[in-house]
Structure 1
Amino acid sequence: MTAHSTTDSIMYFQHLDEIWSEYPELVAGALVATGITADAVVEPRIEAFNTLAKARLAAGTESDLPEIQAWRRTFSRMGLKPTRYRCASESLLRRFRKEGALPRIHPLVDLCNAVSLAFAIPVAALDVARVSGHLEVRRAAGDENYLTLSGEPENPEPGEVTFVDAAGHAHARRWTNRQSGHSAVRDTTRTALIIAEGVHSSAAKDVPDLIATLSDALSSTWPTTVRTARLSRSAPRFDFAVPSYGAGDEKQR
């Protein structure tokens, strides 16, 4: 075990037991990567993942994929119309099928999006410097603060599954539907928390495979330290150290 620096802070990510209890089919994986920069070249890897996605879409649409069908059933159980509110991987696959490519945002985001396309599994990437204390997947009280990617403030609906930190920031809407602009990866991001969640029948194999694939891609792209975890009801919590950076990279809360 590697000793943590005295300047490191310890954070954690977990799903509360209420989520595991209601959705026992959930399989979750998490990854923390440090040393991320915005100048990496990821196009060759993106093209390889896009080729896998195209092969999967060759026989039909994203709605035919078992990973997407399972999330649609989950959204229905949450009282959401699945053709109005789609999980993130379905939205990406739908755009990819129609347009043939996804817009480039940031090398890390682009890589995560490409892996999400290839596996048809939602992948969230958050700037750890914008997460306060810890991150929990739980039902919303309704007073949490959510910021859209365009900068508009919202509050999740009471009972909505969301990602909440210690300061009451909601980092997602409707579980895997939308991420928050508050913790979106940006050019100043140095440490990222990446989460993948599957609810389909082969998720127990596919989610760990996705995390391993992404870990390999990150390690090959950046001089990064990567830590991974497989989460379950019996082992729901992922503790990780966050390095302290210089004045130019200070945490923003």
Structure 2
Amino acid sequence: MPDLRTLQTFLAQAEIDEAVFALRPDYRALLLAVDGLEPGPSDATTERLLEQAETAAREALIDRPVEDLPHVAAWREAYRAFGAKPQRTRNSLEALLRRTATGLPRVNRLTDLYNAVSVLHQVPLGGEDLDRYAGSPRLVRAAGQEPFDTTAGGEPVLERPDAGEVVWCDDAGVTCRRWNWRQAARTQLTDGTTAALFILDGLGPLTDGALTAAADDLVGQLSRFGPDVQVARRLLGRP
């Protein structure tokens, strides 16, 4: 049986640096630590959810471009605040919405699920393998020397974030660059993941209630992935 107290302790040590709040005082992160999942490849359930998300996105974009959606626009402003160009490095929500015209990716059960919830609720949402974490998550502005492991052309590559870039990290290095742009290979979800960390990102246009509703939807879906699923959650915002 997964230990709920261990999940709660992990989240209690999560931090957001004041330098991040200086960029966007309205930023909030809702963290979910989940254990007891039964992993697997994409299946009929996640296929239905992805199809629902694709339909919802197409309807939302009938009369306006992606960048005019309020939460997408807010994230574009946040990226500019730390020097990123949103036309070149899109936040995760915008990147997914732009793919709905031709179809969202089908990756594995957990990834498909959080991608669908992200699009349905129009909130950036990332998922990582909790067992591959070294310490608890921290959101900081990078010094520029932190390691970030990724792939290029199918080969492993070690990168460094730009100085001042907003990054999620743990004791071993960067786990996600540019707030919610690209996740590290080390902590990515796989067909074998049984414990996961999910991060839901909110800016001004998105209320705490809407952020919570997205998390509730995700938890409800995850609870069907095994009889012993345990979930701890924590909302982080400016003190």
Is the shorter-chain TM-score for this pair beyond 0.5, marking a shared fold?
yes
Per the TM alignment, residue 8 of structure 1 is displaced from its structure 2 partner at its CA by 8.2
Instruction: Name the aligned partner's letter for residue 75 of structure 1.
Output: Y
Alignment CA distance shift 1:4-1:64 (3 Å): closer
Q: For the residues of structure 1 that align with 2:149 and 2:61, how far apart are their CA atoms?
A: 32
Q: Which moved more, 1:219-228 or 1:87-96?
A: 219-228
Task: Give the TM-score, by structure 1 length.
Answer: 0.83
Instruction: Name the aligned partner's letter for residue 18 of structure 1.
Output: A
- The residue aligned with 2:192 is 188
Q: Deviations over 1:228-247 (max 9, x none)?
A: 2222223xxxxxxxxxxxxx
Q: For the residues of structure 2 that align with 1:64 and 1:204, how far apart are their CA atoms?
A: 21
Structure 1 residue runs of 4 or more that deviate by more than 6 Å after TM superposition = none
Alignment CA distance shift 1:60-1:190 (3 Å): same
Alignment CA distance shift 1:4-1:228 (3 Å): closer
* Residues 4, 232 of structure 2: 8 Å contact kept: no
Q: For the residues of structure 1 that align with 2:87 and 2:144, how far apart are their CA atoms?
A: 24
- The residue aligned with 1:126 is 128
Instruction: Name the aligned partner's letter for residue 184 of structure 2.
Output: S
Alignment CA distance shift 1:143-1:104 (3 Å): same
Q: In the alignment, which of 51, 68, 74 is matched to residue 72 of structure 2?
A: 68
Q: Aligned with 1:152: secondary structure?
A: strand
RMSD, matched Cα: 2.2
Q: In the alignment, which of 168, 173, 177 is matched to residue 163 of structure 1?
A: 168
Q: Aligned with 2:179: secondary structure?
A: coil
Q: For the residues of structure 2 that align with 1:112 and 1:18, how far apart are their CA atoms?
A: 28
Q: In the alignment, which of 28, 34, 38 is matched to residue 40 of structure 2?
A: 38
Per the TM alignment, residue 21 of structure 1 is displaced from its structure 2 partner at its CA by 3.3
- The residue aligned with 2:23 is 22
The answer for unaligned runs of 5 or more in structure 2 is: none
- The residue aligned with 2:118 is 116
Q: In the alignment, which of 136, 142, 145 is matched to residue 144 of structure 2?
A: 142
* Residues 124, 195 of structure 1: 8 Å contact kept: yes
Per the TM alignment, residue 48 of structure 1 is displaced from its structure 2 partner at its CA by 2.8
Q: For the residues of structure 2 that align with 1:217 and 1:9, how far apart are their CA atoms?
A: 20
Q: Aligned with 2:200: secondary structure?
A: strand
Q: For the residues of structure 1 that align with 2:3 and 2:159, how far apart are their CA atoms?
A: 40
* Residues 20, 139 of structure 2: 8 Å contact kept: yes
Instruction: Name the aligned partner's letter for residue 119 of structure 2.
Output: L
Alignment CA distance shift 1:129-1:20 (3 Å): same
Alignment CA distance shift 1:8-1:104 (3 Å): closer
Q: In the alignment, which of 209, 217, 234 is matched to residue 229 of structure 1?
A: 234
* Residues 32, 226 of structure 1: 8 Å contact kept: yes
Between Structure 1 and Structure 2, how many residues are aligned?
229
Q: For the residues of structure 1 that align with 2:8 and 2:123, how far apart are their CA atoms?
A: 30
Q: For the residues of structure 1 that align with 2:15 and 2:7, how far apart are their CA atoms?
A: 20
* Residues 62, 93 of structure 1: 8 Å contact kept: yes
Q: For the residues of structure 2 that align with 1:186 and 1:127, how far apart are their CA atoms?
A: 8
Alignment CA distance shift 1:32-1:106 (3 Å): same
* Residues 46, 110 of structure 1: 8 Å contact kept: yes
Per the TM alignment, residue 92 of structure 1 is displaced from its structure 2 partner at its CA by 0.9
Q: For the residues of structure 2 that align with 1:3 and 1:128, how far apart are their CA atoms?
A: 13
Instruction: Name the aligned partner's letter for residue 228 of structure 1.
Output: R
* Residues 30, 230 of structure 1: 8 Å contact kept: yes
* Residues 19, 138 of structure 1: 8 Å contact kept: yes
Q: For the residues of structure 1 that align with 2:58 and 2:96, how far apart are their CA atoms?
A: 12
Q: Aligned with 1:134: secondary structure?
A: coil
Q: Which moved more, 1:35-44 or 1:194-203?
A: 35-44
Q: Which moved more, 1:185-194 or 1:54-63?
A: 54-63
